[in-house]
Amino acid sequence: MASDTFSTPQAASAAGIDPAAPILLFDSGVGGLTVLAEVRTLLPDAPIIYAADNAGLPYGTKTEAQIAARVAGLLGRMTERFRPRLVCIACNTASTIALGMVREVLEVPIVGTVPAIKPAAALTKTGVIGLLGTEATIRQAYVDRLEHEFAADRILLRHGAPGLVEAAEAKLSGEVVDFAAIAGAVDTLRIMPHGERIDTVVLACTHFPLLEEELSRAFGPGVRFVHGAAGIARQIARLTSGQEWSRLQPDRALFTQHAPVARGNREMLARYGLDDVGML
């Protein structure tokens, strides 16, 4: 479903852009694959580099200074190396903390994502919205501003759920999902004042849509989920409208540490069209 997104104000001019220049999708782990899937639908010919800072995972337990420095440093080096036509920060935590700094450094269009509070406020019937994110995301002033602007007449209940990041990573790796972590996150929201009336939940981490089936089971019937993947893909398509595409090599997945390849994740990545796996 649609969400709020950060982006540069205008689409990059098609003139002078190398057709083989990739879109660079960046996340702390595999959560950004939910965005990649939507981008594939709209831009099937776009060359993609998917970069995961799994050596820094999880972002949600780090300080704002640590996240900002890490994200800006990594994206600075990657844009110099890969010359992308556009960078997508497919991570709520990194976007709400580091986007401003990154925009000061990079000279390419940038799309980020923030919690989809605006569409959730429009959807809720009971007026009570749950928000699941990382610990770092839920405490950001930007989330406060979104709540004030779009959900001032709603009740927004927030919970930082780092265990869901681990569960999503495990699920994509073919491992057993720890349903206790999912049930625990849901129970924490439900026992908050008015939590029994939650009918709409913002999945404020790109990892979390991977667990929508499990979350739906834990919440029970009558709860809808809102996340930003489709909206981010539409913004990327808008910013690259009119540009030519040429895929000269297989799309790549790059990691900051070797573990995903060692765990046999190549098959999973190939399902997302990422046939070349390596390290940054």
pLDDT tens per residue, range 185-225: 999 999 999 999 999 999 999 999 999 999 999 999 999 99
pLDDT for 172 = 83
Q: Which residues contact 262 (CB under 8 A, 6 or more apart)?
A: none
Encode pLDDT of 67-95 as tens digits: 999 999 999 999 999 999 999 999 999 99
Lowest mean pLDDT among 4-18, 67-81, 247-261: 4-18
> How many other C-beta atoms can be found within 10 angstroms of the C-beta atom of residue 239?
21
- Strands (DSSP E) contained in the chain are 5-7, 23-27, 48-52, 86-89, 110-113, 128-133, 155-160, 200-204, 224-226, 252-255, 276-279
Task: From residue 193, give the alpha-carbon distance in Å to each of 71, 129, 153, 188.
Answer: 36, 12, 16, 10
Residue percentage of the chain with pLDDT more than 90: 75
Going along the chain from its start, the domains and CATH numbers come out as: 5-114+230-279 (3.40.50.1860), 117-228 (3.40.50.1860)
Q: Which residues contact 209 (CB under 8 A, 6 or more apart)?
A: 34, 203, 225, 227, 229
pLDDT confidence bin for 118, thresholds 50/70/90: very high
Coil, strand, or helix at residue 21? Answer: coil
Say how far apart CA 108 and CA 241 lie, in whole Å: 15
Q: Single out the residue of 48, 113, 116 nearest to residue 86, CA to CA.
A: 48
- Percent of the chain as helix, strand, coil, to the nearest 5: 45, 20, 40
Its pTM stands at: 0.88
pLDDT for 60 = 87
Known catalytic residues are 91, 205
* pLDDT for 266 beyond 90: no
pLDDT confidence bin for 261, thresholds 50/70/90: low
pLDDT for 14 = 60
Our CA dihedral for 165, 166, 171, 174, rounded to 10 degrees, sits at 150
Task: Please give the residue that has the higher pLDDT: either 121 or 268.
Answer: 121
Say how far apart CA 211 and CA 262 lie, in whole Å: 23
pLDDT confidence bin for 264, thresholds 50/70/90: low
Say how far apart CA 111 and CA 107 lie, in whole Å: 13
pLDDT for 173 = 80
Sign for the pseudo-dihedral over CA of 129, 133, 139, 141:
negative
> How many other C-beta atoms can be found within 10 angstroms of the C-beta atom of residue 226?
26
pLDDT for 85 = 98
